[in-house]
C-alpha cells in the first residue's frame, strides 16, 4: 500500500512540472472530432450537423480522486449553396478535466472554423483552425510535497519550501489542421488528417517561471480512417491514430463494425477493439438508433501498471447525434451507408 501511494504521489507531481504535462485525450478519439483536428469541423460525410458528449474515468481502481475528463462539441455545415462544390464548417467544443486530491482542474473552450472543397467527384480537401481559452487551477491546501514526508506518510501540517506563485493560470490557445478524403465508390471511404496544437506556444505554470520551461510543447496528431461496406448488413471502420508531444507519444489502432438490424440502417449494433501500443487493449461496444449513437469502451491495462490496477484502466462513453436540415433530408452521403 505504501509503495502504491508513493507511485501515485509522483504521478501527481509530474502534472505540476511546467511545460511537460500532457494534453487531455480519449480512447474514442474518433468520437472527439474537433479536438482531434480542427479541419474536422463540418467534415460530416453522412449528415449536416452533429452534437456530441464524452466522458472518461481513469485509474479509479488506484486513486481516491481519479482522472475525470468530460467534453462536449457541436458543429455544422454552412453555405453549401454559396461556394462552388465547397462549404464552411462552424463549431465549438468544451473540455474539462479533474484529477488528484488537489483537484487539479483544466477547462478549455474553443471555437472552430474550417473550409471544405470538393476536388472532382471523388475527393475532398479541408483546412481549419481552433481558437480558444484555457484555464488550469489547483487547490494548494490539498497538496503534499516531498519535504513534507516524515518517514511514514506525507504530513500536510509540516512546512514546505515549495511556493506556488498562483493557483490559477489562463492563456489563449490555437490549433490548425488539414484533412483529405477519398471515396472512389459508394462502398469505400478513406480519410487522413494532420493537425498541430498549441501553435502559438502558450505558457502554463503555477510557479514564478519566466523561462521557456513554462511553454506548452506543440502537439502533433495524425490519423487515417476508413469506412468499408463489407456486406449488405456490415460496415467496417478501421482507424489508426498517432500523437506526440514533448517526449510522450501515443499510437492507437483498431476498428469497429456496424451491423444493420433494420431496413435502412435506423438501428445498428456497434462492436470492435483497439490497441494502444504498450499500454492497453480497448474493447468497444454500442448501438445507433435513428442517428443517435452511444458507444462504450474500457481500457484494459497491459503495461506494468497492471500490477497496481489489476488491468482496470479507464471507462469511457460517448453520445453523438447527427442530423439533416429540414430542407436537405435527401442529400447524398459521401461515405458508405445501409
10/140: higher pLDDT = 140
Q: Is residue 73 part of a domain?
A: yes
Torsion of CA 302, 239, 297, 136, to 10 degrees: 90
Which residues, other chains included, contact 329 with Cβ-Cβ below 8 Å and sequence gap of 6+? none
Cα–Cα distance for residue pair 16/22, rounded to 1 Å: 11
Q: Is residue 336 part of a domain?
A: no
260's grid cell: 444493420
Q: Give mean pLDDT, residues 291-296.
A: 96
pTM, 2 dp: 0.86
Q: Is residue 337 part of a domain?
A: no
**Domain range spanning residue 122?**
2-328
Percent of the chain whose predicted confidence (pLDDT) is above 70: 80
pLDDT of 216 higher than 60 = yes
Q: What is the CATH number of the domain that holds 188?
A: 2.40.160.40
Helices (H), the chain: 2-15, 33-36, 306-309
What integer best gives the mean pLDDT of the chain?
85
Asked whether 276 and 283 are in contact (CB, 8 A), the reply is: no
Q: Give mean pLDDT, residues 215-239.
A: 95
Predicted local confidence at residue 238, as pLDDT: 97
Using DSSP, state whether 14 is helix, strand or coil.
helix
Q: Is residue 161 part of a domain?
A: yes
pLDDT of 33 higher than 70 = yes
Q: Is residue 294 part of a domain?
A: yes
Percent of the chain whose predicted confidence (pLDDT) is above 90: 58
Q: Give mean pLDDT, residues 2-18.
A: 42
pLDDT tens for 81-106 read: 788 889 999 999 999 988 765 568 89
Which residues, other chains included, contact 172 with Cβ-Cβ below 8 Å and sequence gap of 6+? 131, 132, 133, 134, 200, 202
Q: Give mean pLDDT, residues 130-151.
A: 79
Q: Is residue 190 part of a domain?
A: yes
pLDDT of 19 higher than 50 = no
Q: Is residue 226 part of a domain?
A: yes
Cα–Cα distance for residue pair 338/259, rounded to 1 Å: 9
pLDDT band at 200 (very low <50, low <70, confident <90, very high): very high
Cα–Cα distance for residue pair 191/50, rounded to 1 Å: 18
pLDDT of 177 higher than 70 = yes
Cα–Cα distance for residue pair 78/93, rounded to 1 Å: 17
Buried b (16+ CB within 10 A) or exposed e, 3-32: eeeeebbeebeebbebbebbbbbbbbbbbb
Number of folded domains in the chain? 1
Q: Is residue 335 part of a domain?
A: no
* C-alpha distance across the termini of the chain, in Å: 53
Amino acid at each position: 500500500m505504501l509503495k502504491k501511494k508513493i507511485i501515485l504521489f509522483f504521478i501527481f507531481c509530474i502534472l505540476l512540472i511546467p511545460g511537460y504535462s500532457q494534453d487531455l485525450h480519449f480512447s474514442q478519439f474518433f468520437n472527439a472530432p474537433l479536438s482531434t483536428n480542427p479541419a474536422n469541423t463540418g467534415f460530416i460525410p453522412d449528415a449536416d450537423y452533429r452534437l456530441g458528449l464524452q466522458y472518461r474515468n481513469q485509474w479509479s481502481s488506484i486513486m481516491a480522486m481519479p482522472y475525470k475528463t468530460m467534453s462536449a462539441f457541436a458543429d455544422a455545415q454552412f453555405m453549401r449553396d454559396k461556394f462552388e462544390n465547397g462549404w464552411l464548417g462552424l463549431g465549438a467544443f468544451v473540455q474539462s478535466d479533474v484529477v488528484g486530491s488537489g483537484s487539479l482542474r483544466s477547462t478549455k473552450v474553443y471555437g472552430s472554423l474550417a473550409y471544405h472543397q470538393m476536388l472532382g467527384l471523388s475527393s475532398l480537401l479541408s483546412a481549419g483552425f481552433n481558437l480558444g481559452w484555457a484555464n488550469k487551477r489547483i487547490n494548494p491546501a490539498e497538496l503534499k510535497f516531498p519535504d513534507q514526508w516524515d518517514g511514514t506518510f506525507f504530513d500536510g501540517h509540516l512546512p514546505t519550501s515549495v511556493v506556488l506563485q498562483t493557483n490559477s493560470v489562463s492563456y489563449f490557445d490555437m490549433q490548425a489542421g488539414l484533412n483529405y478524403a477519398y471515396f472512389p465508390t459508394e462502398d469505400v471511404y478513406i480519410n487522413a488528417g494532420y493537425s498541430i496544437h498549441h501553435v502559438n506556444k502558450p505558457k502554463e505554470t503555477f510557479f514564478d517561471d519566466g523561462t521557456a520551461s513554462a511553454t506548452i510543447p506543440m502537439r502533433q496528431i495524425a490519423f487515417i480512417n476508413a469506412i468499408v461496406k463489407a456486406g449488405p448488413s456490415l460496415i467496417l471502420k478501421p482507424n489508426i491514430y498517432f500523437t506526440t508531444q514533448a517526449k510522450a507519444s501515443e499510437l492507437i489502432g483498431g476498428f469497429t463494425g456496424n451491423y444493420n438490424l433494420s431496413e435502412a440502417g435506423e438501428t445498428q449494433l456497434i462492436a470492435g477493439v483497439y490497441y494502444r501500443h504498450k499500454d492497453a487493449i480497448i474493447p468497444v461496444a454500442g448501438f445507433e438508433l435513428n442517428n443517435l449513437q452511444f458507444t462504450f469502451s474500457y481500457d484494459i491495462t497491459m503495461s506494468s501498471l497492471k500490477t497496481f490496477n489489476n488491468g482496470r484502466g479507464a471507462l469511457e462513453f460517448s453520445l453523438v447525434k447527427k442530423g439533416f436540415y429540414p430542407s436537405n433530408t435527401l442529400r447524398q452521403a459521401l461515405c458508405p451507408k445501409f
